[in-house]
Amino acid sequence: MKLATWNVNSVRKRLPHLLAWLDAATPDVVALQELKCETAAMPRAELEAAGWHLAVVGQKSYNGVAVVSRHPIQVLSEALPGDPEDTQARYVEVETGGIRFVSLYLPNGNPAPGDKYTYKLGWMRRLIDHTRTLLAAEVPFVLAGDYNVCPTDDDVYDPAGWQEDALVRPDTRRLYRELIYLGLTDAYRVLNPEPHRYSFWDYQKGAWQKDHGLRIDHLLLAPTLADRLAASGIDRGPRGGEEPSDHTPVWCRLTQ
């Protein structure tokens, strides 16, 4: 079973890339982020015609997450629990292909410090709390998405230049470690120890050409699924295409 996460930076703009990649990479379940459209504007017909099931939590202009699966999907939650006031479309939790699967878009948090950074840290705290609930329920789950967190300096092209940024600040990394230390496995890192392998390259300043990237897209596995991890990688192909997303897919394969 092949799982993936990809921040597409507008699903309407990226639909040809998405369809081509789904066809070539043959994943079973994919988490998408930054749809940048309302649920009703999701290009549902095109994806369903290609044989995909969908769960979509959209929002006008910003955010928006989805799960695309070869298997039927049961939607379990369309928001991260813990704050009824939070209306940003950043979380969808489903059951598909025999696992619990989450597509999440963790807040960027810049500029930091500030209101946006406070929101980010609160969101991370809520994610930790909800993960405890998932662990207690003993369901096999995957938390897939754009975390907007570089776990260590090995995940940043220029650590010194980025140390004040919301993606690498100590409070960000502290909460990310707290999440991981609940018992989750970073599916990419555990099998790929080489430093400076990235999933995002800014559009500006020739970042892609210079490999000035960040590793911020992660597949975090529940303890029971970590035992089934067979392979993982970052597929740099889509980032090098025409009019690409600024992120590229991260994937893993589970036995069975």
Identify the residue among 16, 24, 62, 113 touching DNA (CB under 7 A). Answer: 62
> According to CB under 7 A, which residues from 9 to 38 bind DNA?
9-10, 12-13, 36-37
| Residue 107 lies near DNA (rule: CB under 7 A) | yes
Shorter beta-carbon distance to DNA: residue 88 or 152:
88
Shorter beta-carbon distance to DNA: residue 41 or 226:
41
Nearest one of 224, 122, 231 to 183, comparing CA atoms: 224
| Residue 232 lies near DNA (rule: CB under 7 A) | no
Q: What are the C-alpha distances in Å from 4 to residues 109, 111, 188?
A: 24, 29, 11
Q: Evaluate whether 59 touches 38 at the Cβ level (below 8 Å).
A: yes
| Residue 108 lies near DNA (rule: CB under 7 A) | yes
Identify the residue among 44, 70, 116, 173 touching DNA (CB under 7 A). Answer: 116
Stretch that binds DNA, among 51-59, 75-83, 202-210, 248-256 (CB under 7 A): 202-210
Spell out the long-range contacts of 196-201 with Cβ–Cβ below 8 A and sequence spacing 24 or more.
196/154, 196/155, 196/157, 197/234, 198/155, 198/157, 198/234, 199/234, 199/247, 199/248, 199/250, 200/7, 200/146, 200/246, 200/247, 200/248, 201/239, 201/246
Stretch that binds DNA, among 172-180, 186-194, 200-208, 221-229 (CB under 7 A): 200-208
Shorter beta-carbon distance to DNA: residue 100 or 239:
239
Shorter beta-carbon distance to DNA: residue 85 or 243:
243
Shorter beta-carbon distance to DNA: residue 26 or 61:
61
Q: Evaluate whether 165 touches 120 at the Cβ level (below 8 Å).
A: no
Q: Evaluate whether 2 touches 251 at the Cβ level (below 8 Å).
A: yes
Q: How far is the CB of 8 from DNA (least distance, A)?
A: 9
Stretch that binds DNA, among 42-50, 91-99, 197-205, 217-225 (CB under 7 A): 197-205
> According to CB under 7 A, which residues from 142 to 161 bind DNA?
148
CA–CA gap between residue 91 and residue 53 (Å, rounded): 17
Q: Evaluate whether 199 touches 217 at the Cβ level (below 8 Å).
A: yes
DSSP H/E element including 46: helix 44-49
Chain residues that interact with DNA, rule: CB under 7 A: 9-10, 12-13, 36-37, 60-62, 107-108, 110, 116, 148, 202-205, 243
